[in-house]
Amino acid sequence: MNSMANDVLVIGAGLAGLTTAWQASRHGKGVRVIAKGWGATHWHAGCVDVLGYWPVDSETPATNPAATLPDLLAANPQHPYALVGLARLAAALGGLQHLCSDAGYPLVGSLDKNWRLPTAVGAARPTCLAPATMIAGDLDDDTPMLLVGFKQLPDFYAHLAADNLVQQGIPARHVVLDLPALAGRNFTTAVNLARFMQQSDFRAAVAQAVKPHLGKAARVGFPAVLGLEEATAVHQDLQVQLGRPVFEIPGLPPSVAGMRLHRILKAAIEKNGGQVHEGMEAIGFAADGGRVTAVHTETSGRPRQHRYEQIVLATGGILGGGIVTNHAGEVCEVVFNLPLRHPENRLEWFRRDFLDKQGHPIYRSGVSVNENFQPMDGRVLYQNLYAAGSTLAGFEAIRERSFDGVALATGYAVGNLVSN
């Protein structure tokens, strides 16, 4: 069957790791992805945020990332976007759009414009690429909307979102459904609701219950639960039944929209002959002559060795578990113990205010790399080791809203580098 060569080992299955593996496997490389568990794909909104705010303390969102990015690169030449370059960033976005379209789940948008999509509490969220299932919620359009909640889904507060939108000048109302199909439950999760949504009789019941409340609403918003594998069909069917545009609003984890991207990328890797193994935690490595010769993973009995030509570290930063901190003030990378850039002193980790507009210095911690994404300590540490995604140093992802864009672009770049 698949006796592929041991070309590329990717550690981490978030957006960065999966993108790396997708690109490398597309070029015919034998790829294995190992991951301790699933990553931020299951938390984030299922969109691709490239640059939401710049400068980071800006009050107003960036409307056109392509126009703002050159300023960012000039101010921060160490930023991962600077290493990738704008051309490769655009290619990465285009590549993902292409993949998702082929999978029947189009991502809409371009670098020239940020959408302004509503969050679960009705704030405006700048994002670059969003699934077609979310676009009708754009707040540049001020036509009236109806937001639909479910009594059994405590993670979506339709009334709160509607109130907030009204305050921003968007006519919004809400309704909370209590459907017979869910009546026996105290609560349900977004994922179970998404499975229900794939059943046509459930959808018909939803449409039936919403119709009396439509009034003047020109569009109808739901929490992001409109199907898993069949999201596009579910979305279209609801639009037909309700006779107007329908949109999804991503909310608390788990993120159904993020899971769709995870599925599409994983399927692409496996179709190209690659393997994706979850539940495998990298705990150590062996090196010889400036090369990593093996990565060790924890198993039920004893460590397993993975011998691959090229190794890509995509374990996420502090939030993803690839970098850990302790109260003694130490900051460590967990697999290779790579040298990190981080605040010297623990007192400098955080600013005083939780929502400080500059962000917190500790979240800029990470691995320093050269233009080929090889970890550096003045010199290249291992000839065959690369790093991608949030594990990289020197950017304020939370304030910039650049987590997804950096993960996608650096994963794309590294996936192509290791294929040459």
Partner 1 sequence: MANNIWQAQLNIEAHTLKPVELTLDHCIKCNICVTACPVTAVTDLFPGPKYVGPQAGRFRHQGQPSPDHSVDYCNGCRVCNMVCPTGVKIAEINGRARAHIVQSGQVPLRRKLRNNLIARPELMGKFGQPLAPIANGLLHSGFGRFFAKLLLDIAPNAPLPRFSGERFSRWAHKRRDAVRSDRKVVYFHGCSTEYFEARVGKAAVQVLEANGFEVIVPSQNCCGLPLLSNGEFAAAQAYHESNIRHMVDYVKQGYVIVGTSTSCTLTLKEEAPEMLAYHTPDARLLTANTFDIHEFLVHLLDAGELKTDGLRPMPLTLAYHPPCQYRAHRLGRPSTEIMALIPELTIIESQAACCGVGGTYGYKAEKYDITMAVGKPLFDFVQQVHGPIAVCDSETCRWNIAAATGVPLVHPIELLAAAYGYEPEGPLAEVMT
Q: By the criterion CB under 6 A, which residues form the site for ligand FAD?
A: 253, 327
185 interacts with partner 1 by CB under 8 A: yes
Using CA atoms, how far apart are residues 116 and 141, in angstroms rounded to an integer? 9
Binding segment for partner 1 (CB under 8 A), chosen from 33-41, 54-62, 126-134, 375-383, is: 33-41
Binding segment for partner 1 (CB under 8 A), chosen from 30-38, 159-167, 396-404, 411-419, is: 30-38
Pairing label, strands 219-223, 145-150: parallel
Contacts of 288 (CB under 8 A, 6+ apart): none
Return the beta strands (E) in 326-375 as ranges.
331-333, 340-341, 366-367
Binding segment for partner 1 (CB under 8 A), chosen from 56-64, 86-94, 274-282, 381-389, is: 274-282
The maximal CA–CA distance of the chain, rounded, in angstroms, is 72
227 interacts with partner 1 by CB under 8 A: no
**Best CA proximity match to 15, nearest among 40, 36, 37:** 40
Residue 327 near which of partner 1, ligand FAD, none (CB within 5-8 Å, type-dependent): ligand FAD
Using CA atoms, how far apart are residues 155 and 143, in angstroms rounded to an integer? 25
Residue 74 near which of partner 1, ligand FAD, none (CB within 5-8 Å, type-dependent): none
Q: Under DSSP, is residue 166 helix (H, G, I), strand (E, B) or coil? A: helix
DSSP code at position 129: B
- Among 288, 301, 327, 344, interactor with partner 1 by CB under 8 A: 301
Using CA atoms, how far apart are residues 339 and 323, in angstroms rounded to an integer? 11
154 interacts with partner 1 by CB under 8 A: no
Using CA atoms, how far apart are residues 376 and 373, in angstroms rounded to an integer? 9
Least distance in Å: CB of 61 to partner 1? 26
Return the beta strands (E) in 91-144 as ranges.
107-108, 115-118, 124-127, 130-131
Give the torsion sign (CA, 228, 232, 233, 238): positive
Write the single-letter amino acid at 136: A
Binding segment for partner 1 (CB under 8 A), chosen from 111-119, 240-248, 294-302, 385-393, is: 294-302
Shorter beta-carbon distance to ligand FAD: residue 253 or 290 = 253
- Among 143, 168, 200, 299, interactor with partner 1 by CB under 8 A: 299
Least distance in Å: CB of 322 to ligand FAD? 16
DSSP 39-71: -GGGTS-SSB---S-SSTT-SS--S-HHHHHHH
Residues 284/296, Cβ–Cβ less than 8 Å = yes
Shorter beta-carbon distance to partner 1: residue 43 or 53 = 43
Shorter beta-carbon distance to partner 1: residue 17 or 126 = 17
259 interacts with partner 1 by CB under 8 A: yes
DSSP code at position 215: T
Binding segment for partner 1 (CB under 8 A), chosen from 99-107, 300-308, 379-387, 405-413, is: 300-308
DSSP code at position 303: P
Residue 50 near which of partner 1, ligand FAD, none (CB within 5-8 Å, type-dependent): none
For partner 1, the binding residues in 354-373 under the rule CB under 8 A are none
- Among 104, 277, 371, 383, interactor with partner 1 by CB under 8 A: 277
297 interacts with partner 1 by CB under 8 A: yes
Nearest residue to ligand FAD by CB is: 327
In the complex, which residues of this chain contact partner 1 (CB under 8 A)? 1-3, 32, 34, 36-39, 42-43, 184-185, 187, 189, 191-192, 195, 252-254, 259, 275, 277-281, 297-302, 304-305, 307, 320-321
